[in-house]
Structure 1
């Protein structure tokens, strides 16, 4: 089925790759430990000489099935699943970077990711935040000790679109690890390997799971990066193909040692939700574009930030990258005299909640919630004024959403 479409492959992945008793879904394995009849086999699994399971903290057959599903979506050579997307990011940074290393990251990133980068600085990692929509700024920030570049495909919440392909070529030329957070676009809109990513991070809680009932994250290795060029791979993980070393170290040092384990029952829910990723993305992308166009015309709206709008600075780039689909996130800035809380409290369809990539449309005042801790100065640098609404568009009827926001602004 390798030549089939995205949704066909995803829907049929479970029963074609883990067809126990003919079930269409992989079985849920709640066991904490796994036994062996031969002690030599147990030792071989611990030593990575044989495939198998030892302790649920490092994975179960259920989480492995989800990992294989995500790997297929991203067309990579392996995936490690985590309890949350933030656990996945922590694993990447702390498993691969060391004191004195230099990390270049986009300055337009999710608030919690920004907080994590500040923590990395406390551990001695040098950090440069640049405007990743301009690859020249990434190049200008390079240092002899630069080890990694990190960007989001579409920024949360400002929707800036990084110059993904040019940055990928730059990283390849300098043998840098290129980490791309694909949460807002998902592998359905574009796979990370298409623009040269070494590692792709997805928050499985968002579009891939999609139903607001499970937390999870994943790191997928594309196989494009030769980890023999990376100086921090431990000797015990330098086995077999060097294109696989990085993910093994992330699993051992980032999952096993840090313990951000995804449970089997949650992995099962995410895998089931992933089957409709393509259908949901088509619907919510269409809704998002219609709502963005309607709000951009509204007299009480200062501006709408959405890559699908011609007014967006990276509209042409987004069109080329994502094939005419632009994701489901809108940044909407109300005019200064508008009471943002009064508008939000009049909404009747959209829910007031902190999440995105859900079936439901979710909205919150970004400056007063998820970016409050950042402080006014940092918010100003990121272009998040007090009247900034982050809207994650869902799969409701288009007219219901437009009418809801129009009535709230009336």
Structure 2
């Protein structure tokens, strides 16, 4: 089954009870039992037909054993980290999402889970960071917001040699472009609020386990802690996933044009986009993913210039999040990554003048005109060398 077909016909496909081609919203908290212990569904926290259909779908399109749906991306991350115990050590990508950094350094540190943030694009640094109590390596690729690329297969080789788990946040690439389990990952997670939902109308998180053992452990955590996704949001997410393929292809086409425009604009100092041959890790990403995605980050002269740009754009909506049909724009240092101390942000390369855009499905000519008008008065002292795809 090809990818676009699997997005529509994967998992349960249609309702087994009625034949409905759209899985119904089973708005029920509990279910009749035919006898004590004789039931298909027991209680909605443990299992719900609508949520189960979504969970089977994401497992199918990611190529995993079991899927799990949570009330947010952070709830999904929290459930995965709860696989570990006090005294365990995890290695995380240094340029990780601000919410992930916050929960690891402000919440899970209270429970004795130790973390090291490492440039996972450098395999030597990854190996040097492994300690006797290391249990897993957690990577984002591409990262948020600098779009750094980690070689999933290479890190998987390390984790298998060291008997560690490999966890991959696949939010930016989506399973349409990249399937980390096929590259050796043990667990894949998504902020499904983003591309999978795709319409800025649902908050959700998804996790896929590569094997039944991990699947059983994650189900125990999901049922025990209860951060499950409701049936209405599960239905919205399945509806969004059906169009993921066509959305990602159109977004990809728009993003290539906009990235090239920004790379040649005199007011833009630097562009981060994996589709550029000059982008670090371009070849690795090309080999492990089918597309370069819809995210672009770029720098202007200062935070003041960045704020001015945000005031002038019309079709790029100033908002948190990404991956929707509408184009979004943000300043990571003041928004998504504000929870990371400034010194740490600057060390990572998240400058005050860094702007992140999530390219949507608007006409690309309108998007180019919008950015062009907003940037036209910015003229930095040093012109950068144009980059090319």
CA deviation map 1:270-294 (0-9, x unaligned): 0011001010111111111211111
The equivalent of 1:136 in structure 2 is 124
The answer to whether residue 103 in structure 2 is matched with residue 116 in structure 1 is yes
Alignment partner of 1:9 out of 6, 23, 39: 6
Identify if the C-alpha distance between structure 1 residues 337 and 102 changes in structure 2 by more than 3 Å, giving closer, same or farther.
closer
The equivalent of 2:349 in structure 1 is 383
CA deviation map 1:92-142 (0-9, x unaligned): 101x11111111111011000011111222221121111011122111111
The equivalent of 2:52 in structure 1 is 64
Alignment of 1:118-267 (within 5 A): 118=105, 119-223=107-211, 244-253=212-221, 255-267=222-234
Equivalents in 1 of 2:37, 2:129: separation in Å? 50
1:310 Cα deviation from its structure 2 partner: 1.9
The answer to whether residue 92 in structure 2 is matched with residue 105 in structure 1 is yes
* Residues 98 and 338, structure 2, Cα contact 8 Å, conserved in 1: no
* Residues 14 and 25, structure 1, Cα contact 8 Å, conserved in 2: no
1:22 Cα deviation from its structure 2 partner: 2.7
Q: How many residue pairs align between the two structures?
A: 375
For the residue of structure 1 that corresponds to 2:201, the secondary structure is: coil
1:20 Cα deviation from its structure 2 partner: 3.4
* Residues 14 and 26, structure 1, Cα contact 8 Å, conserved in 2: no
The equivalent of 2:15 in structure 1 is 18
The answer to whether residue 279 in structure 2 is matched with residue 312 in structure 1 is yes
* Residues 200 and 220, structure 1, Cα contact 8 Å, conserved in 2: yes
Greater helix proportion: 1
Equivalents in 2 of 1:217, 1:376: separation in Å? 28
The equivalent of 1:295 in structure 2 is 262
Equivalents in 2 of 1:384, 1:14: separation in Å? 39
* Residues 139 and 170, structure 1, Cα contact 8 Å, conserved in 2: yes
The equivalent of 1:234 in structure 2 is none
The equivalent of 2:371 in structure 1 is 405
Identify if the C-alpha distance between structure 1 residues 88 and 16 changes in structure 2 by more than 3 Å, giving closer, same or farther.
closer
Identify if the C-alpha distance between structure 1 residues 17 and 222 changes in structure 2 by more than 3 Å, giving closer, same or farther.
farther
Identify if the C-alpha distance between structure 1 residues 136 and 398 changes in structure 2 by more than 3 Å, giving closer, same or farther.
same
Equivalents in 2 of 1:93, 1:397: separation in Å? 41
1:196 Cα deviation from its structure 2 partner: 0.3
Equivalents in 1 of 2:341, 2:133: separation in Å? 30
TM-score, normalised on structure 1?
0.88
The equivalent of 1:329 in structure 2 is 295
For the residue of structure 1 that corresponds to 2:181, the secondary structure is: helix
1:373 Cα deviation from its structure 2 partner: 2.7
Identify if the C-alpha distance between structure 1 residues 340 and 40 changes in structure 2 by more than 3 Å, giving closer, same or farther.
closer
The answer to whether residue 383 in structure 2 is matched with residue 395 in structure 1 is no
CA deviation map 1:4-53 (0-9, x unaligned): 211112223477453433311111111101120211425xxxxxxxxx32
* Residues 149 and 171, structure 1, Cα contact 8 Å, conserved in 2: yes
TM-score, normalised on structure 2?
0.93
Equivalents in 1 of 2:237, 2:13: separation in Å? 18
The equivalent of 2:26 in structure 1 is 29
For the residue of structure 2 that corresponds to 1:100, the secondary structure is: coil
For the residue of structure 1 that corresponds to 2:38, the secondary structure is: helix
The answer to whether residue 35 in structure 2 is matched with residue 41 in structure 1 is no
Identify if the C-alpha distance between structure 1 residues 143 and 373 changes in structure 2 by more than 3 Å, giving closer, same or farther.
closer
For the residue of structure 2 that corresponds to 1:58, the secondary structure is: coil
Equivalents in 1 of 2:268, 2:372: separation in Å? 11
* Residues 33 and 42, structure 2, Cα contact 8 Å, conserved in 1: no
* Residues 12 and 53, structure 2, Cα contact 8 Å, conserved in 1: no
Equivalents in 2 of 1:177, 1:139: separation in Å? 14
Equivalents in 1 of 2:356, 2:93: separation in Å? 19
Equivalents in 1 of 2:349, 2:99: separation in Å? 17
For the residue of structure 1 that corresponds to 2:337, the secondary structure is: coil
* Residues 304 and 330, structure 1, Cα contact 8 Å, conserved in 2: yes
